[in-house]
Amino acid sequence: MNKVNHIAIIMDGNGRWGKNKGKSRNFGHLRGVKVIEDIVKESIKIKVPVLTFYTFSSENWNRPIKEINFLFNLIEHYFVREINNLIKNNIRIKILGNIQGLPSKIRLKLHEAMQRTKKCRRILVNLAINYGSKNELIMAYKKIKKKNKNISIKNIEKNMYTHDLPDPDILIRTGGKKRLSNFLLWQLAYTELYFLDKLWPDFNKKDLNKVIKHYKKVKRNYGKI
């Protein structure tokens, strides 16, 4: 039976869910945060040690500025409000992505969240913010070149945002789309992919456990017979 060490999630459908409810896209984003909290709680319960949420991609800068500002304010205010609860529940936060490319207020808040939760050990929650997999690979190559090292699988992986993490066992994408959207392209090489029609705000712990139950029965060959 396969063990689950790392689940990566593309949380697609927040905006559409908000519109379907006769509300704004931002209403969907607000609901989506609650679902993240529920999935983290369930993952702690079933002992999944690492979660990675695709929170804001490097391509999301093309969205309307009001929506971008709302998302950043949502993230910032969440950590202001919940940082003590994160520490109390032993939840470590790590940011994957180009933090330096973010507005200063949210950049400082993200650094603070990582610093204050760095000793937490119950679960690691990665938030991919201003993240793009192609940019991550270019960054890794530049670091290797600067260190005068050879280009190799080992050296590439040592210089990526995920250098200290196991590759995802499972990728879940909600929202009905069947694409990776420049998310962890290197790390997903042997990951089991699950594409769900449900929009992210409708995703729940039963859906999570259903995916995990299926994954545990999958034969993982890694290129072997």
pLDDT digits 0-9 by tens, 113-150: 999 999 999 999 999 999 999 999 999 999 999 999 99
Can you identify the CATH homologous superfamily of domain 6-130+167-216? Decaprenyl diphosphate synthase-like (3.40.1180.10)
Residues classed as catalytic? 12, 60
Give the separation between CA 87 and CA 104, rounded to whole angstroms: 23
Q: How many CA atoms lie within 13 A of 187 on its CB side?
A: 30
What angle do helix axes 205-216 and 25-45 make, rounded to 10 degrees?
A: 50
Buried b (16+ CB within 10 A) or exposed e, 84-102: eebbeeebbbbbbbbbeeb
pLDDT of residue 225: 62
Q: How confident is the model at residue 222 (pLDDT cuts 50, 70, 90)?
A: confident
Whether the predicted pLDDT of 191 surpasses 90: yes
Helix 25-45 vs helix 65-88: crossing angle, to nearest 10: 20
Lookup result for tokens 């992210």: 200
Q: Encoding tokens for residue 143?
A: 């670091």
Per-residue pLDDT reduced to its tens digit, 12-41: 999 999 999 999 999 999 999 999 999 999
